[in-house]
Amino acid sequence: MRIKHRLTGLILAAVFASGLFVPGVSHAAVPYEGYQWNRHDSDVHSINGYIYQYSMDGYDLESGPFKEPQDLFVAPDGTIFVADTGNNRIVHLSMEMKVLGVIGDAEGKGALSEPKGVFVHPNGTIYVADTKNQRIVLFSPSGKYEKEHTVPHSPLLGKNFTYSPSKLTVDKREVMMVVSEGNTQGLLQIDKNGQFKGFFGANHIGFSWKRLLVNTIATDDQKAQLAVQRPLEFSSVTQDEEGSLYTTTLATETNQIKRLSPVGVDTLNPGRAKRYGDRYDVAGPFELSSFVSISVSPEGFISALDLNTSKVFEYDKLGNLLFVYGGLGDQSGLFKTPADIAGLPDGSMAVLDKGRNRIDVFRTTPFADLVHKASTLYVDGRYEEAESMWKEVLKYNANYDMAYHAIGKSLYKGERYGEAMRYFKLAETKGDYSTAFKEYRKAYMREHFAWFAGGLILLILVLRYAVPLLLRFLRRVVTARMTAGASKAESTWGKGESP
């Protein structure tokens, strides 16, 4: 049955992806194939969620072309700020990609040197990570220099600390959360007065039998000669509308994406080691996903940019993979050296490619819109509405395993355990199937309790009364037969016959 559904889904997927579901709009061939990772770590075909729309390299702008841009920020009013690193400036663009202003003075305190990060507070203040100048610079909404926060000082930073701010975000208290290149102790918390307030959400070093063995048997001199293992550094940071911080980490196999609570606890991967990005057959430093940027939509969809594959991986609020798009190449829709990603007000995604000095914009397909609606309903607890939407998803793509799992979850929440078991089986989620089976068994017992109780009472009565009566009857029968046999034998002996 599932094979039939998958074949139907593939046919519909081909039609869907061809653009026939968008009357009056034609599209060039998409240079990448949509896919999903199933429960067996195998990639399966999926309808593309995002399609390349257009590019902006600055040549048509009055400000001139970009040069090695490294950061994008979409302000609350929908306008776009580009950290044009190679040109030592911040370019402010409208939603229509028209220049609204250029930030960064030619000289003086407002002059920038290779800025790699930009953030705009809801009050309009523009924060710039002025990397080479080792400072955070604040500009007014009009782009006028206001003040700077230079190298922070604290005994916690250590003597060898080098300040190299590259990415930043600012919370409602106007506390800056700064990624400093080379820092492995977590995000730097700097208050609105420029005072260092501590580290936040540092990565942890996992348990290692090898490290335990070395520390047990090695001498002090040998330990001193060994390289000290340090936590991995963050590569980017952003926050959602609720104020939760999202980070990415390079050179690690699991939990490359984290959502940090106000106390620095990872709530996206609670008590688990989850792999984000692509799967690789051979482990090694060049096969690990290297996420360099992250963006979170108002609905909670997480888009992470992987430098190794030049692909964007989109996840829902629970960390389930939804779509993969992009890749390495020269065609439109592919990237050379992607540096940052940001969501636009209309739901499109903008990817900054510093290797090609331009911004590439991708729009959602009708299939992605459908998946997003289904996921949003499900996360909001509107399970029945989500169930119908996920079934609609499966009509177009029977390979979309997440839909089976989501429908199973919806059925489970609705206490329809038998149906949930069937969808969990299709999704090949053994743990959820077992949980649904236990609840199904309990529900079945409750529903048929009268029959079970009646049967148990009947069994007790049978054992208490019927069985003893039967045993007494059998004993009488046996005794009677034995008595009759004995009488017959005595009669035979009395006649002098041989038995």
Q: Name the domain boundary from 364, 381, 411.
A: 364
Q: Mark whether 404 and 351 lie in a shared domain.
A: no
Structure-block tokens of residue 387:
């169930």
CA 237, CA 233: separation in Å to the nearest integer? 11
Question: Does some domain include residue 333?
Answer: yes
> What residues contact 272, with CB distance under 8 A and at least 6 apart?
none
Same domain, 75 and 101: yes
Token pair recorded at residue 253: 């196999």
**Which residues fall within 8 angstroms of residue 144, CB to CB, at 6 or more apart?**
110
Together in a domain, 102 and 235: yes
Domain harbouring 439, CATH code: 1.25.40.10
The answer to whether position 6 is within a domain reads no
In a domain, 218, yes or no: no
Total domains, the chain? 2
Give the CA radius of gyration of the chain: 34
184: in domain: yes
Based on the domain organization, do 330 and 396 belong to the same domain?
no
CA dist 227 and 127 (Å) reads 37
CATH label of the domain that carries residue 327? 2.120.10.30
349 assigned to some structural domain: yes
380 and 456 share one domain: yes
**326 within some domain:** yes
402, containing H or E segment: helix 401-413
Which residue segment(s) compose the domain that 54 sits in?
35-202+230-364
pLDDT in tens, the chain (499 residues): 443 444 444 444 444 444 434 333 334 579 999 998 887 778 889 999 999 999 999 999 999 999 999 999 999 999 999 999 999 999 999 999 999 999 999 999 999 999 999 999 999 999 999 999 999 999 999 999 999 999 999 998 988 899 999 999 999 899 999 999 999 999 999 999 999 999 999 886 654 445 445 556 656 665 555 555 567 899 999 999 889 999 999 888 899 999 999 989 999 999 888 999 997 654 444 578 899 999 999 999 999 999 999 999 999 999 999 999 999 999 999 999 999 999 999 999 999 999 999 999 999 999 999 999 999 998 888 888 899 999 999 999 998 988 998 899 889 888 888 999 999 898 888 889 899 888 877 776 777 666 666 777 778 877 777 778 777 778 888 887 777 767 766 666 555 555 4
- Do 325 and 437 sit in the same domain of this protein? no
Q: Does one domain contain both 353 and 248?
A: yes
Same domain, 349 and 373: no
User: 122 and 71 in one domain?
Assistant: yes
3-class DSSP state for residue 257? strand
* 116 in the same domain as 65: yes
Count of beta carbons in the 10 Å neighbourhood of residue 381? 9
Q: Are residues 314 and 400 in the same domain?
A: no
Domain contains 212: no
372 with 360, same domain: the answer is: no
Distance of CA 451 to the CA centre of its chain: 47
Asked if residue 479 is part of any domain, the answer here is no
| Amino acid in position 117 | G
Q: Which residues contact 126 (CB under 8 A, 6 or more apart)?
A: 81, 90, 103, 118, 119, 120, 138, 139, 140, 141, 143
